[in-house]
Amino acid sequence: MEALYILNNLLGKVIAVKHKKVSFLLAPILVGLSLQASAGGMENTSALDAEAVQIVKSFAGTLKPKLKGAIAEGGLVNAINVCSVEAPKIAQTLSAETGWEVKRVSLKARNQSSATPDAFERIVLEQFNERQANGEAAASMMFSEVVGDEYRFMKAQGVQGLCLNCHGDSLQPEVKKALAERYPDDTATGYSLGDIRGAFSLVKAL
Ligand code: HEC
């Protein structure tokens, strides 16, 4: 199992290198081939991807309106409080409802207890940063792979204007203060538009 995991990581790296040389039209085919190879053709990976995309849509589609509503109602500090309660709740509810383990991770985590990436997530997040630096938009960026007896899916989350209020490099003083109180080890600031803020990370036991 350990060997397979390492092999999969290496495979991911080789593919990431290939991405640079081939056109982006070819890249998804390469990823697809690697998936088929590692799944041994036993799993319908595109159906799993479609399921994961739906779960991510419902995560973002629940959280973003709550965030916007909280800002409109009580400003950014209020929205920080709402986000810190609602985001983990949505992740828990979706995990319970879908049978996938659902979370958000980042190379620069705000919530250190839920968002610190594991070894696999770290590699994929680094690849997302590379892909973004090579001109790929965050909106459609994803990666999935069979790892041992798990199916792992990650979808990048890009930084939009709204996000800069709490993840940018010039925060309002009261926002800074509220974040420091709630997240003393916060590293999730200093982002610019279009950066990869983090990713939704989903795991399903096969
Ligand atoms: C009102 C402030 C606020 C805004 C605006 C905001 N966030 Fe956050 N963000 C937070 C807080 C607070 C957390 C920690 C939530 C928790 O404790 O789970 C967080 C956590 C995250 C995480 C989870 C990883 C981590 O570091 O904990 C991601 C990913 C994320 N935000 C992306 C975004 C994106 C993308 C946008 C814009 C669409 C955005 N955020 C806008 C406050 C904000």
* Model confidence pLDDT, tens digit, residues 59-106: 999 999 999 999 999 999 999 999 999 999 999 999 999 999 999 999
- Counted domains in the chain: 1
Percent of the chain beyond pLDDT 90?
78
188 CB less than 6 Å from ligand 1? yes
Q: Is residue 197 part of a domain?
A: yes
163 CB less than 6 Å from ligand 1? yes
Mean pLDDT of the chain: 86
Q: How confident is the model at residue 157 (pLDDT cuts 50, 70, 90)?
A: very high
Q: How far is the CA of 155 from the centre of ligand 1 (A)?
A: 15
Domain that holds residue 169: 44-205
Q: Is residue 20 part of a domain?
A: no
Q: Is residue 176 part of a domain?
A: yes
Query: How many angstroms separate the first and last alpha carbons of the chain?
Result: 14
Give, in order, the Cα–Cα distances in Å from 82 to each of 40, 75, 203: 44, 11, 26
Q: Is the pTM of this model over 0.75?
A: yes
Residue-level pLDDT at 164 = 97
Q: Is residue 30 part of a domain?
A: no
Q: Is residue 37 part of a domain?
A: no
Q: Is residue 66 part of a domain?
A: yes
Q: Is residue 53 part of a domain?
A: yes
Q: Is residue 27 part of a domain?
A: no
Q: Is the pLDDT of residue 34 over 80?
A: no
Q: How confident is the model at residue 9 (pLDDT cuts 50, 70, 90)?
A: low
Q: Is the pLDDT of residue 125 over 80?
A: yes
CA 139 – CA 35 distance, rounded (Å): 21
